[in-house]
Amino acid sequence: MENKEIAEILYNVADFLEMEDNPFRPKAYRRAAHTIEFLTENISEVREEGNLEKLPGIGKNIALKIEEILDTGSLQYLEELRKEIPVDFDALMSVEGLGPKKIKHLYEELGIKNLEDLENQAKRHKIRRLKGMGEKSEKNILENIEFAKKHGTRKLLGYVLPIAQELKTQLDELDITDDVKIAGSIRRRKETIGDIDILVITSHPQKVMDFFITMDMVVDVINKGPSKSTVRLNEGIECDLRVFKANVFGAALMYFTGSKETNVELRRIAIKNNLKLNEYGLFKGKNRIAGESEEELFHKLGMNYIEPELRENRGEIEAATEKKLPELVGYHDIKGDLQIHTKWSDGSHSLEEMVQSASQIGYEYIALTDHAGSLKIAGSMDEKRIKEQMKEINKINNGMDDITILNGVEVNIGSDGKLDVENDLLKDLDIVVASIHSGFRQNEDKITKRLITAMANENVNIIGHPTSRKIQERQAYDLDLDKIFKVSRETNTFLEVNSQPNRLDLSDVNIKKSLEHGCKLVINTDAHSQDQLKYINLGIATARRGWATKMDIINTLSLKKLEKLFN
Partner DNA sequence: GCCGTTTTCGGCCCGACTGTTTTCAGTCG
Footprint of DNA (CB under 7 A): 22, 24-25, 27-29, 31-32, 53, 56-63, 93, 95-103, 128, 131-138, 140, 184, 194-195, 197, 223-229, 238, 240, 256, 258, 260, 263-264, 267-268, 270-271, 274, 276-280
CA distance 455 to 554: 17
Pick the closer one to DNA by CB: 131 or 376.
131
Pick the closer one to DNA by CB: 20 or 353.
20
Q: Give the 3-state secondary structure of residue 30.
A: helix
Q: How far is the CB of 493 from DNA (least distance, A)?
A: 39
Residue 491: closest CA among 453, 456, 447: 456
Q: How far is the CB of 178 from DNA (least distance, A)?
A: 19
Q: How far is the CB of 24 from DNA (least distance, A)?
A: 3
The HSE-up count of residue 290 (CA atoms within 13 Å, CB side) is 19
Q: Centre a 10 Å sphere on the Cβ of residue 530 and count the other Cβ atoms it contains.
A: 18
Q: How far is the CB of 83 from DNA (least distance, A)?
A: 17
Pick the closer one to DNA by CB: 321 or 549.
321
Q: How far is the CB of 61 from DNA (least distance, A)?
A: 4
Query: Are the C-beta atoms of residues 7 and 37 closer than 8 Å to each other?
Result: yes
Query: Who's near 41: CB < 8 A, 6+ residues apart?
Result: none
CA distance 367 to 407: 6
Q: Centre a 10 Å sphere on the Cβ of residue 360 and count the other Cβ atoms it contains.
A: 11
Pick the closer one to DNA by CB: 123 or 564.
123
Q: How far is the CB of 93 from DNA (least distance, A)?
A: 6
Q: In what order do the strands lie in the sheet with 276-278?
A: 276-278, 281-284, 287-290
- Strand 195-202 and strand 177-182: the pairing is antiparallel
CA distance 239 to 229: 8
Q: How far is the CB of 31 from DNA (least distance, A)?
A: 7
Q: How far is the CB of 68 from DNA (least distance, A)?
A: 12
CA distance 42 to 32: 15
Pick the closer one to DNA by CB: 269 or 559.
269
Please report, for residues 10, 18, 34, 391, the alpha-carbon distance to residue 5 in angstroms, rounded to integers and kept in the order given: 9, 20, 12, 50
CA distance 549 to 556: 10
Pick the closer one to DNA by CB: 281 or 546.
281
Q: How far is the CB of 107 from DNA (least distance, A)?
A: 12
Query: Are the C-beta atoms of residues 538 and 157 closer than 8 Å to each other?
Result: yes
Pick the closer one to DNA by CB: 222 or 325.
222
Pick the closer one to DNA by CB: 24 or 401.
24
Pick the closer one to DNA by CB: 270 or 329.
270
